[in-house]
Amino acid sequence: MIYIDKEKLKILFKWYMQEVGDSLVSVLVVDREGLIVDILTRDSEKTDEKKFIGAFSSLVELVLKKLTKDFDLGIFGAGTFDTDKYRFIFCESGSDHVLVSILNHTALVDDVFPYTYLTADKVARIIDGELPVSPVIPKVKRDTELEKIKRKMEYYQSKPHSPEYVYKLSLIGDGGVGKTSMAHRYVHGVFKADYKATIGTYISKKECKFKELGTSVRFMIWDLAGQTQFERLWPDYLTDSRAGILVFDITNRETFENVKKWYDIITKVALPNIVLILVGNKVDLISSRVVSTEEGMELARQLGLYYMETSAKTSENVEDVFEWVAIQIINTNIEEINENLFDKQIEEGSKFIISSPQLKILNQYFAKQLDYCIGKKDTKEIVKYLDILKAIEKKKI
Ligand SMILES: Nc1nc2c(ncn2[C@@H]2O[C@H](COP(=O)(O)OP(=O)(O)OP(=O)(O)O)[C@@H](O)[C@H]2O)c(=O)[nH]1
Ligand SMILES: [Mg+2]
């Protein structure tokens, strides 16, 4: 008999209910024999719990049979089933369990699915008990134009680089290229040779420290399921990514050819100044290589990305990829401070104090702007700024 942390399951179920809202009335985990491992029901529906179990028992055999068959075929099972009063979502959770979500019949299943996959993945890992699992279900944002603009405004008002802030880093690329293996190698320092396709997404955290700079970058790593059956979840999971690692497998040309597709998907929903890197993984498989380093570099050049090659198996360059991303984040944060600083300086005239290196950067920045603006009406504005800067410089001397 395996030990299952039921306390944690309960907390996870509560988060799941909170994020989905009132339409989710009950959550159960059952094993392949249809036995209930755990159940949580919304208080207002408690009196109906027996009814659920009754309704569920009659469905379970049918659905489990189908899930088992799908699973044997290598397809991950997730299905829905409607009764007069309820909608059921069944989702494979590891190899031996199924997460059953019972919703009001008016619930929109598409809105619930992203949370269901996240929960099913966490349930599987809680039952597995091998690695620590956080029972928290993060918010999956659905976009409306207004929300998007609001987030951008909030973002642009963000403060200088702070090690307190957690950055969302998404790992993307086709199924089987080694995203989970890279994340595991980086976060836990281990490698597993067996392939278990990620369901939905897998989230982990890691802090990347820079002693020399006296700062750090905290990552929340979203390891996305690359298999196409999860396609409709990708935009939701990738929304607001601050950084992305776009992975392909150097022994599989198709994964390389799909890089552009992944680039388009993530740039549509990520933050506007996303830091992106292209990574060719599995370099330890020298004799099976079909995509050359030059090809990788050329594609990266076309997309305006940096390129690296890694092996999650031997750990070659894995840490470097994450460190490179972290450094770029610090860099762009600093550049943004300069821009904000400039606005403030212009507003306050020469009252503020400015250091020589800052002045140099500002001068360079506006000289560059001037290059772009020749002939346009804002040229005059920029010349004015440059004059102000000159005046400041003189005062300092
Ligand atoms: N030789 C070798 N095998 C690797 C490497 N990275 C991953 N693999 C293997 O490739 C298979 C797929 O790896 P995963 O990390 O699960 O792939 P994934 O990109 O997360 O796939 P999805 O979750 O389906 O999107 C596994 O069998 C890994 O052991 C590597 O650098 N070298
Ligand atoms: Mg994976």
pLDDT tens sequence across 205-262:
899 988 777 778 889 999 999 999 888 889 988 988 999 999 999 999 999 999 999 9
Q: Which CATH number does 6-128 carry? A: 3.30.450.30
Q: Which pTM was predicted?
A: 0.61
Q: How many other CB atoms are there within 10 angstroms of residue 199's CB atom?
A: 22
Beta bridge partners of 309: 280
- At 305, is the secondary structure helix, strand, or coil? coil
Give me the long-range contacts of 131-138 (CB less than 8 A, separation at least 24).
131/188, 133/8, 134/203, 135/8, 135/9, 135/11, 135/12, 135/15, 136/15, 137/12, 137/15, 137/16, 137/18, 137/19, 138/203, 138/220
**Pick the residue with more confidence: 13 or 374?**
13
pLDDT tens sequence across 328-386:
888 777 666 555 555 554 444 434 445 555 556 666 655 555 554 444 445 555 566 66
pLDDT tens sequence across 152-203:
555 545 555 677 678 899 999 999 999 999 999 999 999 988 888 888 888 8
Smallest CA separation from ligand 1 atom 27, residue: 195
- For domain 145-330, the CATH class is alpha beta
Pocket probe mutation, ligand 1, options 195, 221, 222, max atoms within 8 Å of Cβ = 195
User: What residues line ligand 1, using a CB cutoff of 6 Å?
Assistant: 175-181, 192-195, 197-198, 225-227, 281-282, 284-285, 311-313
Residue with token string 């569920």: 56
Pocket probe mutation, ligand 1, options 125, 170, 171, 180, max atoms within 8 Å of Cβ = 180
- Residue ranges covered by each domain of the chain: 6-128, 145-330, 350-395
**Pick the residue with more confidence: 112 or 146?**
112
Q: β-pairing, 36-41 with 215-224?
A: unpaired
CA dihedral 191, 194, 195, 198 (to 10 degrees): -60
Torsion sign, CA atoms 64, 67, 73, 74: negative
Looking from the CA of residue 226, the nearest atom of ligand 1 is 25
pLDDT tens sequence across 57-90:
666 666 666 666 655 555 556 777 777 778 888 8
